[in-house]
Amino acid sequence: MAGTSMPDEAGAPAAGAGPAGVVRQVPTKLVGAWRDRKRKKAARGRKKGVSRALLALLLVLLGLFFWALNSIFAAPTPGHRISLDELSALAGNQRVATATFRDVDNRIVGTFVAGSGVTGADPRLPATSPVNEPLAEGAYYADYPSSAPLTADLYRALSAGQATVSVDHQTGKQRLKLISTFLLPLLILATVFALLLAPGGRGGGGAIGDVTDFSQMRKGKVRKGASKITFEDAGGVDEAITELREVVDYLKDPAKYEALGAAPPKGLLLFGPPGCGKTLLAKAVAGEAEVPFFSVAGAEFVEALVGVGAARVRDLFARVRAAAPAIVFIDELDAAGRKRGAGGGTGGSDEREQTLNQLLVEMDGFDVSRGIVVMGATNRPDILDPALRRPGRFDRHITIERPDGEGRERILKIHARNKPFASDLDWKDIANRTPGFTGADLANVVNEAALLTIRGERDVVTVADVVEAIRRVLEGPKRRGHLMTDSERRRAAYHEAGHVIVALCQDEQQSVQRVSILTRGRAIATTELRAEEEEIMLTESQLRGRLAVKLAGSASERLVTGEISTGVEADLEEATLLARDMVARFGMADELAPLRLYGSDSSTFLGEETPLADISAETRNALDQATRRLMQEGLATAQVLLEHHRALLDDFAGTLVEHETLEGVVLQEHLDKLQRRMQPPARGRVRAKGVTAKGAEAKSLNGQARPSRRTTVG
């Protein structure tokens, strides 16, 4: 009994306290709902309800205006309509009983009575006229012009005919006429101008409203959990996600950090190459923390009018404070955060500098306990103002690099969700064939594969579709409008064979994706070589070997035909950039070592050439001479190797002319044959991508990838 009474005794208070607890929670829930609504309302900025109200008022005024006009001009029509001549004749016969002059309508209304005999008949009038029907009687109306003399004559004629004459001044219509012709038009014009100029008028569709709303930010999605993206949707950026999880925890519970006296980062600066997922990570942070997410571009703060950018910054942070905890993401931060004095402005009056100054003030003006995190993304972190990058503003810098092989595999699988891919597709192989690809490139590959499947009217995306998609992303679609002549095919074959022969003579372990003399995109023919592993450090001998491989195509053309063609342009461009980097960036030239001659890497993540630092003319000449020397040495190395292996060069070029494209097992068989015939034995360990060491079997994919070294003719 005691055992059974304990739950009853424990449960009774709970049951009794249940309704009371619910009642106590109601005010708390109502207050919370009211605060959420207030946050969202304030974060949205100016309301569009003002423009809707003005639009409704305009419609009402227009309706009243047209109703008043109709009331003024639509006069009543009692009885028969007669002319003034008929009215004069009836008055002369003393048949008009009453006559009322309506002043506003310019109309006479009244009644007439029957006469005796046919006296006063007028043959000019119709037989149905009351004048010609002496027994007719009833109501009538007649319109008269606004003429004082004529009105006086009518009055005298009606009075002489013993009619009861009166005047109706129509006071109500006079007032309505005054309102419709003066007051209502003024109200309508005032409403139209208010609709164009008043705050929120942009919702009404006026260009003038845009001028007056320059100081307002046009963006700001503020509903809670607006971002549906999470960290599961971001692959290949594990290090960045580790750093960002702390921010998510802070946004979920800012009080915990405040209680421990810990100061979470106010701002996070994401920088890296384009397409690596900086914006995606910002959205993922908002999705994980389930807080409002404000996304703006740095260019939105910059306008020609001085002061507009600063006003927009103030408006943005006012919304963010109202919606806190929240995330502000500023994309392309360098557009508004460039170093002061470096943008060609004129000091403090420069609009860009005013915008930056306001941004600095706002980032210092909010307390970290409010739960506000500012995230910025840029491809050029070096040109940002130092005051913006210092601790206390953007105090945590996160580099987003191109994904490695494992990261590329995860990204491919993420983009392949809910798409019908073939069961034999190995995403690891695809990832290995796409070195250097960013997340955006991989998403494009998956999308191109799906489009190719639709074009081929298939239901499943096959391996061939993915391979072709990679090639389309790298080189563009196939060229079907140009057919190479036999001499062009022979020249292209020797060019590509030269790359392969010289690569076999290098010490570096490499893989070849494909050798082809078919035109594709801007390329006439391609030989794609890359290292087996993704390298972090390269030695001088490796770079010299790669330089020789890049120049092997032109060396082969000159050896066989006695001259080079325009097809060596891409090779020379890549070789020149490599030789210049060896001299000016890595200090691999005796003339200038150990100097680094490049300036600050303003375009590090944009793939552009870095400008030279301020150097003397003599140093610049030495740079040019060292670059030329490396190019000449690489070309000489390629020429010596090709002359020594001329027989192998001829055989492999003939094979290319016959097959046009070599890849997979077929390519590996020819590579093994070349390596066996080389004397001295080939030092390079060049293998066809996707083929095992023994060359017995080929893997399921025989495609191309973006290599770390690619030689292209054309």
| Res 714 pLDDT > 50 | no
Percent of the chain with pLDDT over 90: 14
| Res 625 pLDDT > 90 | yes
Least confident of 334-338, 512-516, 568-572: 512-516
Percent of the chain with pLDDT over 70: 75
Helix (H, G, I), strand (E, B) or coil at 459: coil
Residues 261-275 pLDDT 10s: 777 778 889 988 888
Taking Cα atoms as reference points, which of 150, 183, 155, 168 lies closest to residue 104? 168
Query: What is the CATH superfamily name and number for domain 486-713?
Result: Peptidase M41 (1.20.58.760)
Q: Between these two residues, 499 and 260, which has the higher pLDDT value?
A: 499
Average pLDDT of every residue of the chain:
77
- The amino acid sitting at 686 is V
Q: Between these two residues, 279 and 214, which has the higher pLDDT value?
A: 279
pLDDT band at residue 223 under the 50/70/90 scheme = very low
Residue-level pLDDT at 638: 94
Mean pLDDT across 661-673 = 83
Q: How many residues does the chain have?
A: 714
Q: Between these two residues, 322 and 522, which has the higher pLDDT value?
A: 322
Bridge partners (DSSP) listed for residue 166: 100
Residue-level pLDDT at 230: 85
Question: Known catalytic residue: 660?
Answer: no
Residues 475-514 pLDDT 10s: 777 666 566 788 888 999 999 999 999 988 887 767 777 7
| Res 637 pLDDT > 90 | yes
Mean pLDDT across 314-332 = 84
Q: How far is CA 230 from CA 245, 254, 380, 397, in A?
A: 11, 20, 26, 21
| Res 576 pLDDT > 90 | yes
**Secondary structure of the chain: what % helix, strand, coil (to 5)?**
55, 15, 35
- Contact between 682 and 503 under an 8 Å Cβ cutoff? The reply is no
Spell out the residues 6+ positions from residue 377 whose beta carbon is closer than 8 angstroms to its own: 269, 270, 271, 278, 279, 282, 329, 330, 331, 332, 333
DSSP E strands in 88-157: the ranges are: 96-102, 107-112, 138-143
Residue-level pLDDT at 701: 33
Q: What is the pTM of this model?
A: 0.62
What Rg, from alpha-carbon coordinates, does the chain have?
Answer: 44
- The amino acid sitting at 163 is A
Cα(470)–Cα(500) distance, integer angstroms:
22
Residue-level pLDDT at 644: 92
Q: How far is CA 353 from CA 253, 336, 357, 603, in A?
A: 35, 8, 6, 22
Here the tokens at position 288 are 């994980």
**Span 231-399 CATH architecture:** 3-Layer(aba) Sandwich (3.40)
Mean pLDDT across 662-675 = 84
Residue-level pLDDT at 630: 95
Q: Where are the domains of the chain?
A: 1-41, 76-174, 231-399, 405-475, 486-713
Cα(452)–Cα(533) distance, integer angstroms:
30
| Res 276 pLDDT > 60 | yes
pLDDT band at residue 552 under the 50/70/90 scheme = very high
Spell out the residues 6+ positions from residue 535 whose beta carbon is closer than 8 angstroms to its own: 708
Taking Cα atoms as reference points, which of 648, 624, 620 lies closest to residue 498? 648
Cα(505)–Cα(116) distance, integer angstroms:
137
Q: Which fold has domain 405-475?
A: Helicase, Ruva Protein; domain 3 (1.10.8)
Options 448, 468, 496, 574, the catalytic residue:
496
Residue-level pLDDT at 225: 46
Residue-level pLDDT at 265: 79
| Res 49 pLDDT > 70 | no
Least confident of 27-36, 307-316, 699-708: 699-708
Query: Residue 513: in which H helix or E strand, if any?
Result: strand 509-516
